[in-house]
Amino acid sequence: MPIPSYSGETCVAFLDISGFKKMMERGIRAEETLNKFYNTIFVIGSEFNPSPSVRAANTGHVRSLVVSDCAVIFVDNIQLGKNKMRDLESVLRFVKRVNQALITPNPSPPIMTTCSIDYGRFKYQDRIEFRGIGKAYFFGQPYVNVFLDNEKLKNKPGYCRILRNRLRTPDNLRRNHPFSLLQREENYNYFYWMLDSLDHLPQFKRRYEDISQSVYPQMISLLQRAAQKSNARA
């Protein structure tokens, strides 16, 4: 079923597969990765958008526009009106479930993503299609913001963050899931979807940083071995 046209203020997320371009260059399981990505978003999207008789009366549809190795996610709140925290909660729950499903090894391969979230006016149109041409139009400042911000997350696979300029979360919500997994850092609220509680955050960040830095000793070792062989032939 096609996504109905939408225009209004809502939460918009940009979810991108980490390292997919390298997979394409090397021919490493790119097709399997895309199949898992599409299927996961389709299945979870279907569960998030049941019939009106089943869906909670105060929950909007979570829509996903999947293009190649990324997805633009937004909340269709046209029947409910504006409510930043309600829509943000829906997006966070959706992103958490998608990432949890993608990172599992079964079905393989496990997939890491980066994700940026913003709020503002967004427009989507399901335009007329012709034989051999499918058309969809979407645009808005939050989409531009999350697309550009996601580029800055390329070196932090697995991370998801919210731009705080338009989405400041009240303190009274921080006790409730999923807002309890938000951690303010500079101009962002980072969403640690992979944790049960922020009590585990210091340990997680130490382990993440250790793994990120471990590549440099390996590179140094490789360069040293190559240089030694080069000197031996000189």
pLDDT score, position 52: 57
SS3 sequence of the chain: CCCCCEEEEEEEEEEEECCHHHHHHHCCCHHHHHHHHHHHHHHHHHHHCCCCCCCCCCCCEEEEEEECCEEEEEEECCCCCCCHHHHHHHHHHHHHHHHHHHHCCCCCCCCCEEEEEEEEEEEEEECCCECCECCEEEECHHHHHHHHHHHCCCCCCCCEEEECCCCCCCHHHCCCCCHHHEEEECCEEEECCCCCCHHHHHHHHHHHHHHHHHHHHHHHHHHHHHHHHHHHHC
How confident is the model over 125-153, as pLDDT tens digits? Answer: 876 555 545 556 789 999 999 999 999 99
**Residue ranges per domain, the chain?**
6-194, 199-234
How does residue 23 score in pLDDT terms, banded at 50, 70 and 90?
confident
The answer to whether 111 touches 37, Cβ cutoff 8 Å, is yes
Question: Which residue type, as a one-letter code, is found at position 92?
Answer: L
Q: Is the pLDDT of residue 54 over 50?
A: no
HSE-CB for 233 with a 13 A CA cutoff: 5
pLDDT score, position 13: 98
pLDDT score, position 162: 98
Q: Which of 23-32, 47-56, 107-116, 127-136 has the lowest mean pLDDT?
A: 127-136
Q: Assign a CATH topology to domain 6-194.
A: Alpha-Beta Plaits (3.30.70)
Read off the pTM.
Answer: 0.88
Token pair 């993440």 is at which residue?
208
